[in-house]
Structure 1
Amino acid sequence: MMALRDGRLRAWCAAALLWLSAVALLPSAALGAAPADLYEVFVPVTEDRDAALAAALRTVVIRVSGRRDAPDRLGDALASPWNYAQRSGLTADGMLQVGFDSLSIDRLLTGAGLPVWGRERPATLVWLQVQDRDGTAFWLGADTLAIERDALERAAHERGVPLIWPALDFDERQTMHAQAGDDELLRSAARYGANAVLLGRARRDGGEVSWTLLSGGETRHVTGSLEDGVHLAADTFAALYAATGSSLQEIGVEVAGISNLDAYAATLNYLENMTLVRSVTVDRVAGDRVRFRLAVRGDEAALLRALALDTRLAPAAPTVDRGLGADAAAAAGAPLQLRYQP
């Protein structure tokens, strides 16, 4: 770590280390950023336990790479799944639970030229209308019991896509009955804290499901099975958020609004827990601004996309160092400007 250049920064960092030590003792859910363990898989138990473990390895490499063709790229590695498993055991309902070593899986994927898609995964609000055999149609919500919802949940768990289901209150039912447009769907996603919308229309008479994904200002469509909606979302998100290669890029980030120790420690902890970020050093403190230097697996655009999934660090108006004009500051590699939002 680089030298700390003033007493205030040294004091903040010393106090923050104590704060972060306390945070580390909390349950992981308190940190709030990641979906369920990406490296843990549940598969049916077969007579051939090695075959079940190999199936678990295939699931985890697809989930972590974001690529459905990942198993085909790994060759003989699938023949020795025990080399990557950290723990395994049977659950009460007879499933084989396998926890894989994250570093080993990441190295396996990187060595095969595959990307690694970490914890930064868009939450997706699902609007799925099902037409029953008698012609009646209904929307699936958070409290709906339906085989279609179960199928989507299983596929989403396998791909590592966090899904959100609507409450289906009166206003929402009226809006969807009136054929909500894209803008209304995106506003509904914002109300639920979701980053994307997956709209589907299914029929129980065996017809195909029509899917539309709204994300990042773009619209994508696919027609197929129930699971194909989840695959559309996962394939789209992996192309945006997965990091390829092992080289690191150094990126400066200046965060405003850090006015106390809690804000400083929360920001440092958040940055250190981002999958793209391999290391964080503190550069300087000036007023309520703290400048960090990040070693990032990927480029600045990938970092900004990952940051946009969370509201804690929002884009801020750029500042220019005294004595430098805007053009000179850009040429000197001015840091990204963000604002802490508790």
Structure 2
Amino acid sequence: MRLTARLLILCLSLFALPSFAAAPGNLYQVHEPVASQQPDERSAGLSRALQTLVLRLTGDPRAIQSGALAGYFKDPQQLISQYGYENGPPLALVVDFDPASVNNALRQAGLPVWGANRPSLLAWWLNESAAGSSLVGDSQEGAAPLNRAAQRRGLPLLLPMADLSEQGVGTAQNITAAQPDALLAASERYSADGLLAVDAKEDGGKWQAQWRLWLGDSREQGQAQGDSPDALADAVMLAVSQRLAPRFVGAPGAASALTLQVQGANLERYAQLQKLLDPMGAKLLLAQGDNLQYRLNASPDQLRAQLGLAHLQEAPVEPAQQPALDANGQPLPAQPAAPGNVMRFRW
């Protein structure tokens, strides 16, 4: 198998491949707002930062109540590689957690981890207030709260340029529509995996929003509120993260040993597939031509969601072939059969 895999790397052709999924910055770095740099506030901030990280990695608010993690929340520094301050505003404690230590703690607590490859979301975010309406563009001041919230919640976020043509598309009527037809054409050039439409309104200093999310064939929607643009953005991103996580994070006890067969691979796709499957403990069993075979631990739905980010299509598992015969008409020794629970995909 080693020789076959080496030949795959040497012989497969290289060509440009559209990017899929995205990594939300440093997944294990948390910017936690704090009131001051006093020791008591720092200690509380480090504990909150760990809670933020656990929620980001699991997508499950119940995870921060895990008794197996209580000791880490009391003393988070055993999972921290370094920390410092960012003056902002707002003042924030910037905490870098050690990925191996955190993942080991979560595994010991029986909590699955949502990996770094996550669906990229294009956000059509409309702010409405007494001063008027404005579509938030990626270079505008209003983009800062959205980017901070997306980083905090582990979501790769894209914003439109919000030029004159896009301002005409990003209206309240289009953003609140039940179907995103009017937004789809303008979204194509951004090559995002999903579309997030948010209508945010300010009234008396309070903010509230209606949001809709489209990813593949699924649709999610909800409402959020906050006392400031930052609080509202964080509430929206948190809600979106918690809706997405069940698709990509296997529920406790739902994962099982699976065999994955992939057809149509090349060197670029092989490397990207390795990253995509890494959270599932994938082990390459076979590499032959443009075919790959892995053994991994996941639920079928979780695997479908992850591979959907790479635009792979599920294919029926090929039926077992007749055994090959030698020159005397006797069956040749059978090749090791793929383990059960086989799923097959192709590009």
CA distance in 1, matches of 2:130, 2:98: 46
Inter-CA distance 75–266: structure 2 relative to 1 (3 Å threshold): same
Aligned 8 A contact 1:57 1:78 in 2: yes
CA distance in 2, matches of 1:199, 1:32: 19
**Which of 77, 81, 87 is equivalent to 2:76?**
81
1:134-213 alignment runs, 5 A limit: 134=131, 136-146=132-142, 149-177=143-171, 179-180=173-174, 181=177, 182-184=179-181, 185-205=183-203, 206-213=206-213
CA distance in 2, matches of 1:186, 1:319: 36
Tell me the equivalent position of 1:273: 275
Inter-CA distance 46–207: structure 2 relative to 1 (3 Å threshold): closer
- Please report the RMSD computed on the Cα atoms of aligned residues, expressed in angstroms: 3.5
1:1-342 alignment runs, 5 A limit: 4=1, 10=3, 12-13=5-6, 16=9, 33-43=22-32, 44=34, 46-48=37-39, 49-73=42-66, 74-90=69-85, 96-134=93-131, 136-146=132-142, 149-177=143-171, 179-180=173-174, 181=177, 182-184=179-181, 185-205=183-203, 206-215=206-215, 216-225=217-226, 226=232, 227-245=234-252, 249-258=256-265, 263=266, 265-274=267-276, 275-283=278-286, 285=288, 288-296=289-297, 298-311=298-311, 313-315=312-314, 319-323=318-322, 334-339=342-347
**Partner amino acid for 1:211?**
W
**Partner amino acid for 2:286?**
D
Instruction: State percent identity of aligned pairs.
Output: 24
The structural deviation recorded for 1:123 is 1.3
Aligned 8 A contact 2:122 2:187 in 1: yes
The structural deviation recorded for 1:190 is 4.4
CA distance in 1, matches of 2:223, 2:243: 12
The structural deviation recorded for 1:165 is 0.6
**Partner amino acid for 2:198?**
G
Structure 1 residues not aligned, in runs of 5+: 20-29
Aligned 8 A contact 2:83 2:95 in 1: yes
Q: How many residues align?
A: 306
TM-score normalized by the length of structure 2: 0.74
Cα deviation 1:232-288 (Å, max 9, x = unaligned)? 211101121123448963333333334xxxx2x333322332343313223252xx4
Inter-CA distance 279–217: structure 2 relative to 1 (3 Å threshold): closer
Cα deviation 1:178-205 (Å, max 9, x = unaligned)? 8334242345444422222222222233
The structural deviation recorded for 1:334 is 4.8
CA distance in 2, matches of 1:178, 1:71: 37
CA distance in 2, matches of 1:292, 1:12: 11
Q: Secondary structure at the match of 1:142?
A: coil
Inter-CA distance 314–171: structure 2 relative to 1 (3 Å threshold): farther
Aligned 8 A contact 2:21 2:118 in 1: no
Inter-CA distance 224–156: structure 2 relative to 1 (3 Å threshold): same
The structural deviation recorded for 1:315 is 4.2
Deviates more, 1:119-128 or 1:223-232: 223-232
Inter-CA distance 72–82: structure 2 relative to 1 (3 Å threshold): same
The structural deviation recorded for 1:308 is 1.0
Inter-CA distance 95–229: structure 2 relative to 1 (3 Å threshold): closer
CA distance in 1, matches of 2:314, 2:162: 33
Inter-CA distance 128–278: structure 2 relative to 1 (3 Å threshold): same
Aligned 8 A contact 1:201 1:211 in 2: yes
TM-score normalized by the length of structure 1: 0.75
Inter-CA distance 52–221: structure 2 relative to 1 (3 Å threshold): closer
